[in-house]
Amino acid sequence: MTERDRHGPKAGGAAAKTEAERRAERLAKTLRENLARRKQQARARRSGDADETTGLPAAKTDESAR
């Protein structure tokens, strides 16, 4: 097998498949992180603790602003 044979038209298809696999892995990781975050929120609600929020300060309720 020559160098050209290894990097011919078939190599492009393999690279695209590799990119698709990388994308699937990223999506799976994101889904796992989201599930873990939601489970943590559910546990906090059951125990009565407040959820830790990360977001815009303007979105948080502030009694002094009323």
Mind spelling out the 3-state secondary structure of 2-45?
A: CHHHHCCHHHHHHHHHHHHHHHHHHHHHHHHHHHHHHHHHHHHH
pLDDT score at 51: 58
Task: Indicate the residue type of 29.
Answer: K
pLDDT band at 47 (very low <50, low <70, confident <90, very high): confident
Please say whether the beta carbons of 21 and 15 come within 8 A: no
Reported pTM: 0.47
Alpha-carbon gap, residue 23 to 18, rounded angstroms? 9
Q: How far apart are the first and last CA of the chain?
A: 76
- What pLDDT shows up at residue 2? 60
